[in-house]
Amino acid sequence: MKNKANVLPDFPMGGIHPTERKELTEHLPIETMTDPSKVALFLKQHVGYPSEVMFNLISQLHSPEYYLEDNICKDGACGLDASEKKQVNEGELIGSTKNKIGASLHAGINGTVDGVFDTIHPVLGKAPAIIVSKSGAQKKPSYTRKDWTKYSKEELLSKINDAGIVGLGGAGFPADIKLNIKPGVFLDTLILNGSECEPYLTCDHRVMAEYPQDVIEGAKIILKILGINRCVIGIENNKPDAIAALEKAVADDPNPMGCDIFIQPLTVKYPHGSADQIMQSITDRVRPSGKRSSSIGIIVQNVYTTKTIYDAVALDKPFYERVVTISGRGISRQANLLVKIGTPLADIVEYLGGTTPDLAKIVIGGPMMGVAVSSLNVPITKATSGVLFLTKDEIGEDEKYGPCIRCGFCLNACPMGLEPNNIGVFVEAGKGADCEQFGFVDDCFQCGSCAYVCPAKRPLVQFIGLARIKIEEAKKKEEN
Amino acid sequence: MNSSAKDRIQTAERPYFNNLSVSFSPHFRSQVSTERIMWTVVACLMPSLILSMFVFGLQTLIITAVSVISCVMTEAISQKLLNRPIAITDGSAVITGVLLAYVIPPGVPYWMPIPGAIMAIFITKIIMGGLGFNVFNPALMGRALLMASYPVAMTAGWLTPIRDLSLDKYLNAGVDAISTATPLYVLKHYGLNGLIEKFGSLSTLYFDFFFGFSPGCIGETSACVLLVGGIVLLYKRYITWHIPVSVIASTAFFTWIFGGETYFSGNPVLAVLSGGVILGAFFMATDYVTSPNEKRGQMIFGAGIGALTVLIRLKGGYPEGVCYAILLMNPLVPALDQWFRPKRFSEGAS
């Protein structure tokens, strides 16, 4: 740990200071949205295999690949007849990956399973999703707090698996797989990532400020699973209320179980929430290119994931609802909304009172790494941390990009030490395969810092993505 | 697909917005654009022009205007002829025009910048691929062409600065001005004593050189106003300190060692304040396209410019060397970029 007096930990390379605009939602308490009339749960909303629909829900059972390929879901849907429709309750398991890598799916509302339909997906265009329509008695399940300390490591992991928890920072990697470290791997630190460096987003912030005890308990659960006792919660210094709440929760913890939990304020700088950057900033350790973070003895977990892990273990509550930041000036009311996974954006917009006339862009995720969508039929997925309704003023002009003027701003902004300027010029010249000399292109995690600062407004993130594809193609060609 | 499944196909209701932008991430960007940088540089150069109008007369404005217009025209015509998008609004041709005028003596004929502008824009920039692909600094290539083609006009057009503020002199400045020699010419051929004899005591020299009351090119004489512009660019972070500081430091250092009668007796302050060192350090060597990207490369680039400047001043045929020093260092930029790469993230791993 760095011990410089009065200097907050920082990552040394690159980084930018975009306008935060968190003031829109950072003081709004978490608000529970009314249940939508239907939810659409993508079979695959995590890293790994798609979930299989539970066999008792749908009469014609196919493998998940069947739905993904050109078969039934190509243009329409695979619906169920009224007689086949099955009633499900809130929190009931409706999709599972069995023993493969993946995450289970749970119905968020009491209703009937309509079947598997092609649904608009923010990234893939279209993807199969289980549709559950609201019907029947709307009875909320109640969850009681249990003492989790008696569970063994395996029991804890299977509870996390049963709850279908994935990394909520954006990647969506199944949490139980991440925490199931092979014996013999040296670990000494758990870092809980509460930096939330993307502008606008405040859902992690609100969760930390409102559920500090849950986060601390979740940290203790993860520490028990990992068999270590040191945990650092890294939070950017622009969330003083979250830092204070967590510090109080640690100090007041009646049963610390020998865990050494430490709250570490961090410099406000984008992308501090990236795993590599937060690890380097807190521990000074650098992950070698192409290796897992466990190779340097660290596991990084998002704070909100930690809270859902606590819910799953202590309350036996599956992961079927999450806090999503709805922000931007293009919607009449901003909120930190607790929504059911699978809620279409249209219902959220309706709940919040509609969009403003100058709405120019809808972004799923943060403004730096999120995906723009054109339809309100897109459902919330497990990894959706925010939905932004941005106006023309906020996004600026959609200008045509100009030639690289070699200003070098992107070199100073890149946290991974790549040379986006040269990669862009090479890709434009059709020499994407020669870009490996400009840095480990695989290191790019698309933070968008280079494109943010580029005065010529060049799409550098996309150029780097193209270079990566070209390099892979060239390597395959060499092998053949 | 069997028929029963076909019957089940439903068309999803899709409320699309018609005018939504779905461009790629990041979805908002910094306000700094190429245009903004270029026009800020132009604005930072303007105080020098205003000062030179007072010091040398109104013809400096005419020469600068001719230079800017011919640069912009050359860019527009050549882009039109080559079927490229016309990009004169980005301000880069305007900067080239202003800088080209700034390195021309104030007493030259008014048509003089035109061949320089064609050299600078068409041959140095457009033919090489346009903005971002030129190897040499366009304005300095223009000056180099003028120096080679019209050596008499380019070395005899110096004017004595006007010190009193009588209106009469401004109106007739072009007629009345007396040709003179630049301080660097005097220093080269008559030594420091000759300089003091011609321009007054050393402290007067420092004062005049700093504020711009000395014979020289249109925009290079006043270190004071150029420094103000340079500091604005530094403050806005459009340039970093590495190139200007290394150019100035290396010029001062090498002049101190080799510039005097004996070693370590040169006058570094005079060397930095005279000629085009400040203009070159802040506005020409820092040209993004023709300077290295990496900090260490920039330092070496700047140090090289300083060393070559002193070498040309002391041993070369010309009294002033900043122009050729920058032009000689420019082709080294790709090599410097190749040698000095930014540190990769995982190279910090032990």
Compute the average pLDDT of residues B303-322.
91
Per-window interface: A 377-396 vs B, CB < 8 A: 377, 388, 390, 394-396
Is the pLDDT score of B175 beyond 60?
A: no
pLDDT at B76: 95
Residue B191 backbone class (left: φ over 0; alpha: ψ -120 to 50; beta: rest): left
Contact between B342 and A403 using a beta-carbon 8 Å cutoff: no
AA letter at A246: L
Per-window interface: A 201-260 vs B, CB < 8 A: none
The correct CATH number of A1-33+142-395 out of 2.40.170.20, 3.40.50.300, 3.40.50.720, 3.40.50.11540 is: 3.40.50.11540
Is the pLDDT score of B174 beyond 80?
A: no
**CA-based nearest residue to A316, from A188, A462, A131, A141:** A141
Is the pLDDT score of B17 beyond 70?
A: no
Q: How many CB atoms lie within 10 A of CB A223?
A: 20
Residue-wise pLDDT for B223-240, tens only, equals 999 999 999 999 999 999
Query: What separation in angstroms does the CA of B205 have from each of B186, B210, B261?
Result: 13, 8, 19
pLDDT at B247: 96
pLDDT at A1: 45
Contact between A372 and B23 using a beta-carbon 8 Å cutoff: yes
**Residues on chain A touching B34 (C-beta within 8 angstroms):** 402, 405, 455-456
**CA-CA distance, B336 to A329, in Å (whole number)?**
46
pLDDT at A53: 66
Encode chain B in three state secondary structure.
Answer: CCHHHHHCCCCCCCCECCCCCCCCCCCCCCCCCHHHHHHHHHHHHHHHHHHHHHHHCCHHHHHHHHHHHHHHHHHHHHHHHCCCCCCHHHCHHHHHHHHHHHCCCCCCCCCCHHHHHHHHHHHHHHCCCCCCCCCCCHHHHHHHHHHHHCHHHHHHCCECCCCCCCHHHHHCHHHHCCECCCHHHHHHHHHHHHHHHHHCCHHHHHHHHHHCCCCCCCCCCCHHHHHHHHHHHHHCCCCCCHHHHHHHHHHHHHHHHHCCCCCCCCCHHHHHHCCCHHHHHHHHCCCCCCCCCCHHHHHHHHHHHHHHHHHHHHHCCCCCCHHHHHHHHHHHHHHHHHHCCCCCHHHHCC
Is the pLDDT score of B290 beyond 80?
A: yes
Which ipTM value was assigned to this complex?
Answer: 0.86
Judge whether A66 is closer than 8 Å to chain B, CB to CB: no
- Identity of the residue in A75, A390, A414 whose CB atom sits nearest the CB atom of B9: A75
Bond into A271 cis (ω within 30): yes
Q: Phi, psi (5° rounding) for residue A135?
A: -165, 165
pLDDT at B61: 93
Per-window interface: B 46-85 vs A, CB < 8 A: none
pLDDT at A250: 92
Computed from CA positions of residues A164, A168, A174, A175, in that sequence, does the dihedral angle turn out positive or negative? negative
**Residues on chain B touching A446 (C-beta within 8 angstroms):** 25
Give the global pTM: 0.87
pLDDT at B168: 53
Contact present, B64 and B49 (Cβ < 8 Å): yes
**CA-CA distance, A18 to A15, in Å (whole number)?**
10
What tokens were used for A79?
């619906």
Count of alpha carbons within 13 angstroms of residue A197, beta-carbon side: 25
Contact between B343 and A390 using a beta-carbon 8 Å cutoff: no
The rounded Cα B306 to chain-centroid distance in angstroms is 15
pLDDT at A133: 87
By C-alpha distance, the chain A residue nearest B349 is A286
Contact present, A280 and B349 (Cβ < 8 Å): no
By C-alpha distance, the chain A residue nearest B85 is A402
State the angle between helix axes of B183-199 and B295-315 in degrees (0 to 180), rounded to the nearest 10. 70
AA letter at A264: Q
Contact between B342 and A346 using a beta-carbon 8 Å cutoff: no
- Identity of the residue in A296, A374, A443 whose CB atom sits nearest the CB atom of B345: A443
Q: Is B262 exposed, middle or buried (0-12, 13-18, 19+ CB in 10 A)?
A: exposed
Q: How many CB atoms lie within 10 A of CB B340?
A: 18
pLDDT at B29: 86
Contact present, A259 and A231 (Cβ < 8 Å): yes
- Identity of the residue in A199, A286, A416 whose CB atom sits nearest the CB atom of B349: A286
When the pLDDT of each residue in chain B is averaged and rounded to a whole number, the result is: 85
Contact between A408 and B87 using a beta-carbon 8 Å cutoff: no
pLDDT at B12: 38
- Identity of the residue in A76, A119, A462 whose CB atom sits nearest the CB atom of B9: A76
pLDDT at B62: 94
**CA-based nearest residue to A277, from A414, A376, A399:** A414
pLDDT at B186: 81
Is the pLDDT score of B3 beyond 50?
A: no
Query: What separation in angstroms does the CA of B157 have from each of A54, B113, B153?
Result: 90, 13, 6
Contact present, A137 and A112 (Cβ < 8 Å): no
Per-window interface: B 108-127 vs A, CB < 8 A: none
**CA-CA distance, A441 to A467, in Å (whole number)?**
8
Computed from CA positions of residues A403, A404, A405, A410, in that sequence, does the dihedral angle turn out positive or negative? positive
Compute the average pLDDT of residues B300-315.
94
From the CA of B342, how many Å to the nearest CA of chain A? 6
Judge whether A187 is closer than 8 Å to chain B, CB to CB: no
Per-residue pLDDT of chain A (480 residues; tens, 9 = 90+): 444 556 788 888 888 999 888 999 989 999 999 989 889 888 877 776 777 666 555 444 455 455 444 444 433 344 454 555 678 888 888 877 766 777 888 888 888 887 777 788 887 777 778 888 888 777 788 888 888 888 898 899 989 988 889 888 777 788 888 888 888 888 889 999 999 999 999 999 999 999 999 999 999 999 999 989 899 999 999 999 999 999 999 999 888 888 899 999 999 998 998 888 999 999 888 888 878 888 889 999 999 999 999 999 999 899 999 999 999 998 989 999 999 999 999 899 989 988 888 888 899 989 999 888 888 888 999 889 999 999 888 887 766 888 999 999 999 999 998 899 999 999 999 888 888 888 777 888 889 999 999 999 999 999 998 998 999 999 999 888
Contact present, A80 and A113 (Cβ < 8 Å): yes
Looking at the DSSP bridge assignments, the partners of residue A95 are A53, A105
Q: Collect all residues with Cβ–Cβ distance below 8 Å to A380 and sequence separation of at least 6.
A: A322, A324, A339, A340, A341, A342, A343, A344, A345, A348, A387
pLDDT at B7: 36
From the CA of A326, how many Å to the nearest CA of chain B? 16
Judge whether A344 is closer than 8 Å to chain B, CB to CB: no
What are the boundaries of each domain within chain A? 1-33+142-395, 38-134, 409-479
Per-window interface: B 293-312 vs A, CB < 8 A: 293-294
pLDDT at A6: 64
Residue-wise pLDDT for B66-106, tens only, equals 999 999 999 999 999 999 988 888 899 999 999 999 999 98
Q: Collect all residues with Cβ–Cβ distance below 8 Å to A67 and sequence separation of at least 6.
A: A43, A50, A73, A78, A116, A128
